């Protein structure tokens, strides 16, 4: 199943809009569009409604789509030089 961000990104590309152009039409900052597309947060229903209207998408498809943040590398653990992923026991 496509994520909310993937749906928005594909529809935006199909409409030949930049993130900035979509943001202007929706009434949000372009970084908000970027964060939505990258899966950093779920859009507010009002924002999703405006995005759906601009991109001719179903609001239900956007609202029901999962949001998954991109995987990030391990965070360094204090005192071990950062060699172990977080919350992992050190041998």
Q: Which residue has the tokens 């372009």?
A: 30
Q: What is the band of 73 on the pLDDT scale with cuts at 50, 70, 90?
A: low
Which two structure tokens, joined as six digits, stand for 53? 């209207």
> Rounded distance, CA 18 to CA 72, Å?
26
pLDDT in tens, 22-58: 999 999 999 999 999 998 888 899 999 999 999 999 9
What is the chain's length? Answer: 91
- What CA–CA distance (Å, rounded) separates 16 from 33? 15
Angle between helical axes of 4-14 and 45-55 (0-180°, round to 10) = 30
Query: Domains along the chain?
Result: 4-64 (1.10.260.40)
């Amino acid at each position: 199943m496509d994520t909310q961000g993937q749906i928005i990104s594909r529809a935006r590309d199909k409409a030949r809009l930049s993130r900035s152009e979509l943001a202007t039409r929706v009434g949000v900052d372009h970084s908000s569009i970027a964060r939505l597309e990258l899966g950093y947060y779920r859009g507010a229903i009002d924002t999703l409604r405006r995005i759906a209207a601009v991109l001719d998408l179903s609001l239900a498809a956007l609202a029901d789509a999962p949001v998954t943040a991109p995987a990030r590398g391990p965070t360094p653990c204090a005192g071990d030089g950062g060699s172990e992923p977080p919350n992992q026991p050190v041998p």
